[in-house]
């Protein structure tokens, strides 16, 4: 009976016009099967634009020479590479030595994602080999890494001179190490995405981000308990080119400090006027949690809606009203905190009439008071609006508002 490799070779000889998919997702155990590796390497890899390789329940590692072999077959076409498993070093087979020594620069590679690499012998050697072929990379994602050798940190800006976007996810490195990594790129970051960082304090990281405020365009800080809310307000105030700021998780519990209302309002202590934020002319997307009174909890509250300082709530509306180019606005509150922005006309929603470019409003994570009058006002005042989402509350006004929208 012919092997899978023989069957694939037979298929290709009979179908010369067959073009494989330009995107391929693999598990590392696919590479650990001899026939599977030969088929992938010789027939499926050439011409690839996107290659994603992850671990599986059957295998967590593969030899570095196999990855090199795959990349040598698609080096001239690859645009997006993702490797998420442990790399083990093995001697390179003699018959593949000439292939592995090819000048495997990857001229089209723009996006590189690495994760769960572990500390097996050879991983650092492989990464050094990979860095040297990433001169065109603009976006780097590092996921589930607890260590990054100093030699690699030092060589990153040398081998990736065009890098301007970085994602750090489920990172176990210290604040000092994260700050050092971010500080290596002196041209300035355009995008920084930090999610599930475990460090208790990210003060050094905040300081480095402030040094890059002139170039930052997109900033996402979610599930980072060590990044204080006031630091987020400082970044909003200092970034003149920022168009996207996200610090509100889409679902699940809040794991990032909220922006406290005082920091978000950001008044001049002498005049009482709101300070001008550098992001006001550029900000398009804002997803934040705003906290009014920390430490006040929901149990045993008689009123179905929060009651807080109306003057402070009005000032929060005033701050939002200055962001006249917003097209996406998501607002939330921490689950255990009672006070929140009510988003009712009586509380000051009318102050947001100037957000004429707003297309999407999401208050599902906010204990708001949105009824029919509010959604009618939104539709009248915001001509570009096409999506409104709010918390499902079993009250007459929210039910009527939902029915009116439908």
What are the structural domain ranges in the chain? 18-163, 228-297+306-406
Query: Which letter, b or e, does each residue of 192-221 get, where b requires 16 or more Cβ atoms within 10 Å of its Cβ?
Result: bbbbbbebeebebbbebbeebbebbbbbbb
The residue to which tokens 């016009």 are assigned: 17
Per DSSP, 310 falls in state H
Which residue in 329, 320, 386, 389 sits closest to 354, CA to CA? 320
Q: Print pLDDT tens along the chain (406 aa).
A: 666 656 766 776 677 666 666 888 888 777 777 777 777 877 778 889 999 988 766 556 778 888 888 888 888 899 999 998 888 766 566 555 555 555 557 999 999 999 887 776 677 888 888 888 999 999 999 998 877 777 778 888 899 999 999 999 988 889 999 999 999 988 899 999 999 998 889 999 999 999 999 999 999 999 998 999 999 999 999 999 999 999 998 776 666 778 889 999 999 999 999 999 999 999 999 999 998 765 444 444 434 444 457 888 999 999 999 999 999 999 988 755 556 788 999 999 999 999 999 999 999 888 888 889 999 999 999 999 999 988 766 566 676 777 777 6
Which CATH class name applies to 18-163? alpha beta
Quote the CA–CA distance of 246 and 379 in Å, as a whole number: 25
Residue 286 sits at φ, ψ, to 5 deg, of -135, 120
- Distance between start and end Cα atoms, the chain: 61
The Cα 382–Cα 40 span in angstroms is: 52
Give the Å distances, CA to CA, from 183 to 54, 205, 222, 226, 295: 29, 9, 21, 19, 36
Nearest CA-CA partner of 21 in 4, 3, 43, 42:
43
Structure tokens at 387: 């999506």
Confidence at residue 198, expressed as pLDDT on a 0 to 100 scale: 83
pLDDT at 355: 98
CB 229 within 8 A of CB 259: yes
DSSP conformation class of 40:
I
Residue of 75, 22, 23 whose CA lies nearest to 53:
23
111, with CB counted inside 10 A (0-12, 13-18, 19+), is middle
> How far is 285 from 38, CA to CA, in rounded Å?
46
Element (H, E) at 158: helix 150-159
Please give the helix or strand (H or E) that residue 361 lies within, else none. strand 360-365
């Amino acid at each position: 009976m012919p092997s899978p490799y023989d069957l694939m070779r037979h298929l290709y000889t009979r179908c010369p016009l067959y073009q494989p998919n330009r995107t391929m997702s693999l598990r590392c155990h696919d590479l650990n099967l001899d026939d599977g590796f030969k088929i992938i390497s010789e027939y499926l890899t050439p011409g690839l634009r996107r290659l994603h390789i992850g671990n599986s329940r059957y295998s967590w590692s593969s030899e570095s020479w196999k990855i090199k072999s795959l990349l040598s077959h698609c080096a001239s076409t690859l645009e997006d590479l993702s490797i998420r498993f442990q790399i083990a070093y093995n001697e390179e087979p003699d018959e593949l030595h000439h292939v592995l020594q090819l000048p495997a620069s990857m001229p089209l590679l723009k996006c590189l994602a690495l994760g769960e690499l572990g500390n097996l012998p050879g991983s650092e050697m492989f990464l050094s080999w990979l860095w040297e072929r990433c001169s065109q990379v603009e976006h780097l994602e590092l996921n589930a890494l607890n260590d990054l050798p100093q030699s690699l940190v030092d060589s990153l800006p040398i081998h990736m001179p065009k890098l301007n976007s970085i994602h750090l996810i489920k990172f176990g490195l210290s604040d000092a190490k994260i700050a050092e990594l971010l500080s290596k790129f002196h041209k300035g970051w355009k995008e920084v995405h930090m999610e599930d960082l475990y460090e208790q304090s990210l003060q050094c990281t905040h300081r480095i981000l402030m040094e890059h405020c002139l170039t930052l365009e997109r900033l996402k800080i979610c599930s980072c308990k060590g990044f204080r809310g006031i630091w987020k307000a400082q970044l909003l105030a200092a970034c003149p080119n920022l168009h996207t700021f996200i610090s509100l998780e889409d679902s699940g519990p809040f794991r990032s400090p909220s922006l406290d209302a005082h920091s978000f309002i950001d008044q001049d202590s002498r005049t009482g006027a709101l300070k001008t934020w550098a992001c006001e002319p550029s900000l398009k997307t804002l997803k934040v949690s705003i906290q009014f009174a920390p430490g006040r909890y929901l149990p045993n509250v008689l009123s179905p809606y929060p009651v807080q300082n109306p003057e402070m709530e009005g000032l929060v509306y005033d701050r939002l009203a200055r962001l006249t180019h917003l097209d996406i606005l998501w607002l939330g509150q921490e689950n255990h905190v009672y006070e929140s922005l009510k988003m009712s006309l009586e509380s000051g929603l009318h102050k947001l009439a100037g957000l004429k470019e707003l297309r999407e409003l999401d208050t599902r994570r906010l204990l708001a008071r949105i009824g029919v009058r509010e959604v009618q006002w939104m539709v009248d005042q915001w001509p570009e609006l096409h999506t409104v989402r709010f918390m499902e509350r079993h009250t007459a006004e929210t039910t009527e508002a939902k029915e009116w929208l439908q």
